[in-house]
Amino acid sequence: MSERELILYAWPMGPLADAAQRYFDEATDRLGPTIAQSYPVHCTLTGFFRRADHRVGEVLAALGSAVDAFGEPDDVAVERLGARDGWVGLELRSRQLLEIIETVTTTDRPEHGEDALRPKDWLHVSLAYGVADLQPYEALAHEIIDPSLPATWCVGFWERLPDGNWIRR
């Protein structure tokens, strides 16, 4: 049976997204890529989950309607830009994102052998991780990203392809 690897993300649009993408580009060019640069700029709402090819449409329709019922979250706030425990990024606060996570994870009905959705509760956008010395990455983040920049937030499913590329579903 062929499976697809999916995940639920929230992602910024607008000036904050532009600054984060500029950071990704400059960090890669000036300091070298980290694991964060192998993903789109995002906040993870669920862990990765696999669904059989023949179920992807059905699953995305059911879970997507749960997400769509909320609309675009308008209460996402950046609490801080900083570093901790081998990570640099933006820590977020949003009651609406947490409600979306709860709704989607309780709506999902995995079949035998499929992954259950794993909810995430630490809302954040990773800018850098997976390298020994994060200090230059944190300094660059403070140089490029103003955490008070405005953003609208979208929520949706993404698929990670076998070649490492991404498709927004």
pLDDT in tens, 126-153: 999 999 999 999 999 999 999 999 999 9
Tokens of 41: 């700029």
pLDDT at 164: 86
Mean confidence (pLDDT) of the chain: 94
End-to-end Cα, the chain, rounded Å: 21
- For residue 1, is pLDDT > 70? no
- For residue 94, is pLDDT > 90? yes
Q: What is the mean pLDDT of residues 38-55?
A: 93
**Dihedral sign (CA 116, 9, 81, 134):** positive
- Top-confidence residue, 12 or 168: 12
pLDDT in tens, 149-158: 999 999 999 9
Claim: this prediction has a pTM higher than 0.85: yes
pLDDT at 67: 81
Distance CA 70, CA 138 (A): 34
3-state secondary structure of 30: helix
**Dihedral sign (CA 94, 96, 97, 99):** positive
The b-or-e profile of 20-46 (16+ CB within 10 A means b, else e) is: beebbeebeeebeebebbebebbbbbb
What are the φ and ψ backbone dihedral angles of 88, each rounded to 5 degrees?
Answer: -125, 135
Distance CA 71, CA 39 (A): 24
3-state secondary structure of 149: coil
Superfamily of domain 3-168: Cyclic phosphodiesterase (3.90.1140.10)
In the chain, where the domains are located = 3-168
- Measured CA distances, 112 to 88, 105, 116, 117, 142 (Å): 37, 16, 10, 13, 46
